[in-house]
Amino acid sequence: MRPLGVDKTLTEIWHFRLKGAPEPIYRRALAYYNLVNSPATLINADDLENFWKAQQGLSSEGGDWVSFHRHHGRDLEKDGRVETAPDCGTSEAPMRNQMKAWTQYMTAAQ
Amino acid sequence: MAKKKAPKKKAVRRVNGRDTQHEVEQFLYRQAEVLDGKRWQEFIDLFADDGVYWMPPEPSHTTWDGMPAIFAEDKNLMTVRMKRVLHPDAWSQRPLWGTNHVVGNVVIEKESATGDVVARSRFHMMELRRDDVRHFAGSYVHHLKKTRDGYRIKLQRVDMTNAQAAFDYVLQVWV
């Protein structure tokens, strides 16, 4: 992903053939390329839509908050570490965790 | 009484002959029509069982097999694409966009004795997604198999003139 400006991000896909690697590795990577990241991707289309929506939201006069609520309340905290609850593959716990850490750093005594 | 023999029908199928030209044009127009009408199952049904829809990233590519592609899909993958786009939870695809294809410059490249055809053509496609209009254009090569139910596509190659350009958003159905 290449940020070109505050409101423009270019996503590109590069495909490599690894020297000496078996052919199935190349084929597998190629299937991933075609399905997930090609300019006609079935998968990444949702992510790109999210980027667009986040940008639209931030540049609008709407709310100042970005929601990281997905699966909130199901996070598991163990020894000060937040973990994603089981069967919550798309939990936004990592983002919540990141923001929590950022708040801690920003408010820590000098 | 001698049975009157029906005059033998001579199969005249000249390259660029009127019949083949007309039939192929009608086929291509129908394909554009089902695409613009979002009748995607009908679109998929135009392909032979082993048919492939292929959009190479650039014109120098000679095969889809083992090569990066914008699209390289058999009927199975095409069905996955159709189901995903129509799935009620596919919120990134709502509202569904509109397209308008114009297909022309149809040239019959080859016709075999059995009626299979290779045809070249050009297309322009306007797409409306929310408030934005995008314009795609390029050429098609259709490898058509003659069947009892009309032509079926063995291979459709789509060379888009703007294949190398950055897109504001990815393509979600066939062009």
Name residues 74-93 of chain B within 8 A of A (Cβ): 80-81, 84, 90-93
Q: Model-level pTM?
A: 0.79
Type of residue numbered A7: D
Mean pLDDT score across all residues of chain B: 91
**Residues from A in contact with B at Cβ < 8 Å:** 10, 13, 15, 26-27, 30, 33-34, 38-42, 44-46, 48-50, 52
**ipTM (interface predicted TM):** 0.78
On the CB side of B142, CA atoms within 13 Å amount to 28
CA distance B7 to B152: 30
Residues of A in contact with B69 (CB under 8 A): 34, 38
Q: Please answer whether residues B116 and B15 qualify as being in contact, where contact means their C-beta atoms are separated by less than 8 angstroms.
A: no
Count contacts between A and B (CB, < 8 Å): 49
Q: What is the pLDDT of residues A48-80, one digit of tens each?
A: 888 888 888 888 887 777 788 888 888 888 887
Going by C-beta distance under 8 Å and a sequence separation of 6 or more, which residues neighbour residue B158?
B53, B54, B55, B71, B138, B139, B140, B174, B175
Amino acid B50: pLDDT: 97
